[in-house]
């Protein structure tokens, strides 16, 4: 029985794997090639650290569109993640959208408490320490995907995997802004402006949420939820419904009211409940400001903005390359976890939940096979 296991990658998946192993009495060393652990995790926390989501588990699992990740999440579901955070002294709350956050709305207090627990379990953390390549076993690899490479997830491990014959699906941006050819006037006036409570439709899928206008294009939860279809089936405009709670008929009835001396903008604001950015989006796209146009404004997207600033990435180690215990079939004794595996999910707590759950699953697989 080995008395030690190395974990490479000090993000949520790697640190969770280290905790599971150390709690079982295994000496664990966590290596990370960056100067400090969990850099991307800390960045995610700037927006409030959306840990997970409170929706029913079956609905939660449907967000992944990857059934092979399901057992890990069922074994460590959202309520278990909340209990784990509470055990670190981090209280959580459920937001109006069902998302679950720490009450402090930051990642740093949770990370400090977690590192303190790991230190108490004897886990050794070594920064600026790169993976030496295949050879050392048992080991758990949790390198992350390929988004925000400056924070550590740079996919530098891919050549070593492909050289060993391990299939890696090429990385693509997920939960990314999409580029739009805005006019200079619209860009200068509305960059950084949210478009709240809209419905979006694309390729037969409809979602509700919020958009954010950026200098380069458009982003936000509603776009992220459609990003896979937008990325894989480009060419059609995304349809934006500015009044998703009203039928076309109800909106058309409102628009029969006399305009009087109001400007068109004031009239649409008062009668149709449109914000200035919504009104100007209609103008920007040349869409009539009638009931049909307000309920289905077409917006042509150019392409995803790229991996560098995408919230997450799609692609990674192909599922056929790992066992149910997350062990690489072509490299026995090496386990993988987190975003380096080929799955994707929208924002809303699904990304972190799967990273924690797969890190735990990989550690349990390692314990079961190599640490008895």
The last residue of one of the domains, among 281, 299, 317, is: 299
Range(s) of the domain holding residue 324? 4-173+308-370
d(CA 292, CA 287): 9
| Same domain, residue pair 252 and 363 | no
Rounded to whole angstroms, how far apart are CA atoms 21 and 284?
Answer: 56
Place of tokens 């076309």: 248
| Angle separating helix axes 350-370 and 78-87, nearest 10 degrees | 80
Last residue of a domain, one of 252, 272, 299: 299
Q: 59: domain CATH number? A: 3.50.50.60
Residue with structure tokens 């891919």?
Answer: 158
- For CA atoms 321, 322, 323, 324, the dihedral sign is negative
Residue 333 has a pLDDT of 96
Give yes or no for a contact between 177 and 216, defined as CB atoms under 8 angstroms apart. yes
Do 292 and 197 lie in one domain? The reply is yes
Q: Is the same domain home to 160 and 213?
A: no
Same domain (yes/no): 329, 358 = yes
Is residue 163 domain-shared with residue 104, that is, in the same domain? yes
Same domain for 123 and 157, yes or no, is yes
Same domain, residue pair 56 and 127: yes
Total domains in the fold of the chain: 2
The answer to whether 229 and 178 are in contact (CB under 8 A) is: no
Structural domain ending residue among the three candidates 278, 299, 320: 299
Radius of gyration of the chain (CA): 23
For residues 254 and 168, give the distance between their C-alpha atoms in angstroms, rounded to a whole number: 54
And the tokens for 191?
A: 């960059």
Q: Judge if 152 and 14 occupy the same domain.
A: yes
Per-residue pLDDT, 306:
87
- Whether 240 and 200 have beta carbons less than 8 Å apart is answered as yes
Instruction: Looking at the structure, tell me whether residues 52 and 72 fall in a common domain.
Output: yes
Supply the pTM of this predicted model: 0.90
Question: In degrees, to the nearest 5, what angle opens at C-alpha 9 toward C-alphas 8 and 13?
Answer: 110
pLDDT in tens, the chain (372 residues): 557 999 999 999 999 999 999 999 999 999 999 999 999 999 887 778 999 999 999 999 999 989 999 999 999 999 999 999 999 999 999 998 899 999 999 999 999 999 999 999 999 999 999 999 998 899 999 999 999 888 989 999 999 999 999 999 999 999 999 999 999 999 999 999 999 999 999 999 999 999 999 999 999 989 998 988 999 999 899 999 999 999 999 999 999 999 888 899 999 999 999 999 999 999 999 999 999 999 999 999 999 998 888 899 999 999 999 999 999 999 999 999 999 999 999 899 999 999 999 999 999 999 999 887
User: Closest by alpha carbon to 269, among 237, 242, 306, 233?
Assistant: 242
Give the integer Cα–Cα distance in Å for 189 and 103.
34
The answer to whether 331 touches 164, Cβ cutoff 8 Å, is yes
Burial class (CB in 10 A: 0-12, 13-18, 19+), 191: middle
DSSP state of 139: E
Angstrom distance (rounded) from CA 213 to CA 221: 12
Q: Kindly state whether residues 103 and 12 are assigned to the same domain.
A: yes
166 and 182 within one domain: no
Give 360's contacts (C-beta < 8 A, 6+ positions apart). Answer: 16, 17, 20, 72, 75, 76
pLDDT value for 259: 87
pLDDT for 2 equals: 57
Q: CA 13 to CA 123: how far, in whole Å? A: 15
Task: Write down the pLDDT at residue 122.
Answer: 97
- The H-or-E segment that residue 176 falls in is none
Do 152 and 187 share a domain, yes or no? Answer: no
Q: Which of 35, 26, 31 is nearest to 122 (CA)?
A: 26
């Amino acid at each position: 029985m080995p008395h030690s296991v190395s974990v490479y990658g000090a993000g949520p998946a790697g640190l969770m794997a280290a905790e599971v192993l150390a709690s079982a009495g295994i000496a664990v060393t966590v290596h990370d090639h960056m100067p400090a652990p969990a850099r991307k995790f800390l960045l995610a926390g700037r927006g409030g650290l959306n840990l997970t989501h409170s929706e029913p588990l079956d609905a939660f699992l449907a967000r992944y569109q990857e059934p092979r990740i399901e057992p890990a999440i069922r074994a460590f579901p959202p309520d278990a993640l909340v209990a784990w955070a509470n055990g670190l002294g981090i209280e959580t709350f459920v937001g109006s959208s069902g998302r679950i956050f720490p009450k402090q709305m930051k990642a740093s207090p949770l990370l400090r408490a977690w590192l303190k627990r790991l230190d108490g379990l004897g886990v050794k953390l070594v920064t600026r320490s790169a993976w030496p390549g295949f050879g050392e076993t048992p080991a758990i690899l949790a390198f992350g995907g390929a988004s925000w490479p400056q924070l550590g997830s740079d996919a530098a491990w891919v050549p070593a995997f492909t050289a060993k014959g391990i299939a890696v699906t090429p990385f693509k941006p997920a939960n990314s802004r999409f580029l739009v050819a805005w006019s200079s006037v619209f860009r200068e006036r509305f960059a950084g402006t949210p478009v709240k409570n809209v419905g979006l439709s694309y390729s037969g899928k409809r979602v509700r949420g919020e958009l954010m206008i950026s200098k380069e294009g458009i982003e936000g939860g509603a776009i992220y939820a459609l990003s896979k279809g937008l990325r894989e089936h480009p060419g059609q405009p995304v349809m934006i419904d500015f009044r998703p709670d009203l039928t076309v008929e109800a909106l058309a009835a409102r628009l029969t009211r006399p305009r009087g001396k109001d400007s068109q903008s004031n009239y649409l604001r008062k009668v149709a409940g449109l914000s200035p950015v919504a009104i100007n989006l209609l103008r920007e796209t040349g869409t009539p400001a009638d009931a049909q146009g307000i309920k289905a404004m077409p917006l042509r997207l150019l392409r995803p903005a790229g991996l560098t600033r995408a919230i997450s990435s799609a692609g990674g180690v192909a599922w056929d390359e790992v066992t149910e215990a997350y062990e690489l079939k072509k490299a026995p004794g090496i386990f993988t976890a987190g975003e380096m595996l080929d799955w994707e999910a929208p924002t809303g707590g699904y990304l972190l939940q799967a990273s924690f759950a797969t890190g735990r699953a990989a550690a349990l697989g390692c314990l079961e096979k190599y640490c008895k």
